[in-house]
DNA sequence: CACCATGTTCCTTG
DNA sequence: CCAAGGAACATGGT
């Protein structure tokens, strides 16, 4: 589920459910996902601590906790990888098969589960320092963007995935924003004209903003959608999912007609990841 | 069985 | 030294 918009929606749903909750017990079932923090260290620091704030940075969730005993604050960093999920539930019922970490409160528990195990929940916050500006923030200026692209021969699609350039853009919204801007994903970054950069920047912002809106307004009981308890997860659900189709213009739509011109959407592989685009609307 | 998957990191190659 | 490409990570869906 993990690009900026999905993480943003998750954070908004989760924050009110966590704030003020004190960790009474903590179970680490897949210590590997805490690395480089050890399970022992993780428990030592967090049991007894109280969740204060939850924010997002790029695709990361940033939790702050307060420990009364040490009168200090702790930052906890979360990342969903490809299949991570986080949610608060009543303490009843059994845990899912892939539950990695379980925080117990009074009558509820906060669960981090991850099927593939590419996600992370750790006390190591160093990954934050390597992130570029937030694409929806003030620091993501046209000048900064244009300058960063100027030096690189990498295809623009690949460049958009570079988290040190912009934080939070993933494979889906990279394709989507290029379609909206009418720019070929193959175009070397340094070849973008100032006019194209001028279109790409607002396209990125629009696509991300719309996705946040969509994620925040969709009925919360759809399969693979958002659940009322703050769980958010989407999976590709073939063509049967109408809302998913409406939401994305090119991603995962290989051979389907372009929503703008009708010619078939093409799929190519760049940096070993799928890119989708309309060869007619995104020439050059 | 084969191929694909929203991400990041590490290693190799040029 | 740097950039680019690919594998690895681990599991499930189609």
Q: For the segment A123-169, what is each residue's pLDDT rounded down to a tens digit?
A: 999 999 999 999 999 989 999 999 999 989 999 999 999 999 999 99
Measuring from the CA of residue A115 to each C1' atom, give the nucleotide at the shortest distance.
C11
In angstroms, the CA of A69 and the C1' of B5 are apart by: 44
Flag residues 91-120 of A with CB < 7 Å from strand B: 116, 118
Task: Please pick, among A29, A205, A227, A273, the residue that the annotation labels catalytic.
Answer: A273
pLDDT at A199: 96
Of all nucleotides, the one whose C1′ comes closest to residue A83's CA is: B6
pLDDT band at A246 (very low <50, low <70, confident <90, very high): low
Q: What's the mean pLDDT in A22-39? A: 96
Mean of the pLDDT values across residues A37-42? 96
* Banded pLDDT at A225 (limits 50, 70, 90): very low
How confident is the model at residue A217, as a pLDDT? Answer: 58
Q: Is A159 a catalytic residue?
A: no
Q: Is A59 a known active-site residue?
A: yes
Confidence check: pLDDT of A227 > 70: no
CA–CA separation, A143 vs A163, rounded Å? 18
How much is the pTM? 0.91
Q: What pLDDT sits at residue A109? A: 96
Say which nucleotide is closest to residue A163, CA to C1' distance. B8
pLDDT confidence tier of residue A36, bands split at 50, 70 and 90? very high
pLDDT of A76 higher than 50? yes
Q: Which residue is nearest to nucleotide C2 (CA to C1')?
A: A152
For strand C, is any atom closer than 7 Å to the CB of A274?
Answer: no
Look at residue A228 and tell me whether its pLDDT is greater than 50.
no
pLDDT at A283: 86
Average pLDDT for A213-238 = 48
Tens of pLDDT, residue by residue over A80-91, are: 999 999 999 999
């Amino acid at each position: 589920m993990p690009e900026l918009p999905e993480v943003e929606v998750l954070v908004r749903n989760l924050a009110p459910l966590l704030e003020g909750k004190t960790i009474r017990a903590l179970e680490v079932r897949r210590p590997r996902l805490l690395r480089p923090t050890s399970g022992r260290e993780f428990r030592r620091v967090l049991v007894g601590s109280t969740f204060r704030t939850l924010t997002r940075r790029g695709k990361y969730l940033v939790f702050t906790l307060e420990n009364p005993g040490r009168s200090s604050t702790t930052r906890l960093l979360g990342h969903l990888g490809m299949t991570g999920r986080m949610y608060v539930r009543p303490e009843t019922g059994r845990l899912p098969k892939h539950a990695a970490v379980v925080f117990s409160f009074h009558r509820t528990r906060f669960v981090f589960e991850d099927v593939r195990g590419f996600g992370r929940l750790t006390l190591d916050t160093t990954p934050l320092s390597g992130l570029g500006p937030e694409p929806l923030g003030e620091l993501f200026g046209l000048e900064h963007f244009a300058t960063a692209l100027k030096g690189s021969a990498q295809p623009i699609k690949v460049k958009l995935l570079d988290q040190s350039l912009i934080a939070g853009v993933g494979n889906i919204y990279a394709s989507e924003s290029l379609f909206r801007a009418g720019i070929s994903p193959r175009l070397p970054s340094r070849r973008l004209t100032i006019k194209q950069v001028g279109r790409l920047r607002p396209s990125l912002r629009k696509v991300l903003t719309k996705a946040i809106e969509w994620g925040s307004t969709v009925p919360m009981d759809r399969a693979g959608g958002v659940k009322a308890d703050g769980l958010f997860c989407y999976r590709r659900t073939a063509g049967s999912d109408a809302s998913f189709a409406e939401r994305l213009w090119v991603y995962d739509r290989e051979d389907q007609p372009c929503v703008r011109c009708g010619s078939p959407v093409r799929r190519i592989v760049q940096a070993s990841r799928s890119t989708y685009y309309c060869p007619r609307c995104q020439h050059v």
